[in-house]
Amino acid sequence: MAEKVKIGRRSDLPAEGEAREFEIGERVVCVAKLNGEYAALDNVCPHRGGPLGQGVIEGDKLVCPWHGWQFDPKTGAVGHAPDQRIATYPLTIEGDDVFVEIS
């Protein structure tokens, strides 16, 4: 069952074209802003465990800072293998509070 967890305030969210890490207990979630919309996804790159929230946005992809793997922030699809995905999470903003649904 999904749990709705507050990760911060609206002012904590990344600017357009940026990504940021948010801690939820022992888990870290990456939030990226692309084309005016926020996306929340797993922070760990499946290649070598790189921190996606420390990556950059290039075009419409989130790029891992360690080895350049690219991801679609909305779907979690791996750029070079779109049949592979990392977890994505619903993100909602209620007033100034930001929530992510984690299963």
Tens of pLDDT, residue by residue over 47-66, are 888 999 999 999 999 999 99
CB count within 10 Å of CB 35 equals: 11
Sheet strands side by side (includes 91-94): 3-9, 97-102, 91-94
Neighbours of 22 (CB within 10 A): 22
pTM of the model: 0.92
* Average pLDDT of span 71-98: 93
Record: fold of 3-102: Rieske Iron-sulfur Protein (2.102.10)
- Domain ranges (residues) in the chain: 3-102
Tell me the pLDDT of the chain averaged across its residues.
94
Q: What is the pLDDT of residues 17-49, one digit of tens each?
A: 999 999 998 899 999 999 999 999 999 999 888
